[in-house]
Amino acid sequence: GLGLGTIYRLLIAVVATFSELRLHFLEVPAVTEPTRLLTRVGLPPGLSYLILSKDRDPAYAAFRELVATTPGLCITGSYPPKLQRRFALERTPVLWVTSASGYDFCVGPKALEFELLQSIVRFVKSNPATVVLVDSVDLFVHTNGFEAVTRFLRRVNNRAAERRSTIIAAVDPEALTEG
């Protein structure tokens, strides 16, 4: 007979194996985009930025400028092919935070602390001095709560700082007001 401790260890091993297999599929390639930019935003690399704007264009303009010379990763709650066309992100990997399935790089909105954080950490760890855009921070706040998102962004920022990577977080300040 199996004891309760053995069953518990077996269950933990199965969950850990499943999680590792799931995260393995979320390994993101490091590529740069061809340069076709006329305007320059001029954010110095290696720092973290919070862009407060109802319009996502400033965050994507800064990100697009940086991925012309530095590998990047885009985290968004918006449909990736639409963003890729709009902002000329032909090669940059886009991780879609959604409840939908069927897209190569997607993660559930409630998986902020585990799958999403680990995917970003792996990317930054494997590719020092990269850039990560975390779009739709307001969506994460509505789904996970302000404190969980603050904790998540702090962890991402700490990992990025260790590896001299740039973090750009975009949030619509009007979406965060209570009402």
In terms of C-beta density within 10 A (0-12 exposed, 13-18 middle, 19 or more buried), how is residue 20 classed?
exposed
User: Rounded to the nearest 5°, which phi and psi values hold at 107?
Assistant: -145, 145
pLDDT score of 25: 47
Dig out the tokens for 54 from the structure: 């109802």
Give the tens place of pLDDT for each residue, 123-179: 999 888 899 999 989 888 988 998 999 999 999 999 999 999 999 999 988 877 764
Angle between helices 117-126 and 146-162 (to 10 degrees): 10
Give the tens place of pLDDT for each residue, 11-55: 777 776 666 555 544 556 666 666 655 455 678 888 999 999 988
Give the tens place of pLDDT for each residue, 75-90: 999 999 999 999 989 8
Residues whose CB is less than 8 angstroms from the CB of residue 51 and which lie 6 or more positions away in sequence, other chains included:
58, 59, 62, 168, 169, 170, 171
Q: Which long-range contacts (CB under 8 A, 24 or more apart) does 98-107 make?
A: 105/26, 105/28, 105/80, 107/26
pLDDT score of 106: 85
Measured distance CA(79)–CA(96) in Å, rounded? 7
Q: Which alpha helices (DSSP H) does the chain contain, by range?
A: 4-24, 57-66, 80-86, 117-126, 137-144, 146-162
Dig out the tokens for 23 from the structure: 């995260």
